[in-house]
Amino acid sequence: MVNETLKGEIEREVAENTILVYGKGTKAMPLCGFTMETIEFFSAFGYPFEVIDVLENGPKRETLTALTDWPTLPKVFIAGKFYGDTDILGPMAESGELQEILKQAFPGAPEAAPIRLH
């Protein structure tokens, strides 16, 4: 069952941030390798993004899982849409698809540099 209060909080956070990462830790202090990888991934694009730490907030993590049908962290939202994590976004970046999504999410911003993984 989805906690309606937390659902509203998540919807507000997603609406307020063009790129939002729910992860373990913060931008300044990621607490897991996958969250750190996602922070490094988005830092390379140069667009602003926010990271919300949900490590210690079990009910919010459960609500996020119910809303996204995605069991793991991090969870990435771009322009209000859920995209998964870098396992999904990495190939999208390599094909150029992610850059198009970001260009639409940040109209008028300079174009993102191409990303090369590994």
Q: Where are the domains of the chain?
A: 4-105
**Span 6-21, pLDDT tens digits:** 999 999 999 999 999 9
The answer on pLDDT for 53 being more than 90 is: yes
Two structure tokens written together for 113: 């540099």
The CATH topology of domain 4-105 is Glutaredoxin (3.40.30)
Rounded to an integer, the average pLDDT of 22-37 is 96
Identify which has the larger pLDDT, 18 or 116.
18
Rounded to an integer, the average pLDDT of 52-66 is 96
Q: Which region, left, alpha or beta, applies to residue 113 given φ > 0 means left and ψ of -120 to 50 means alpha?
A: beta
At residue 55, what is the residue type?
L
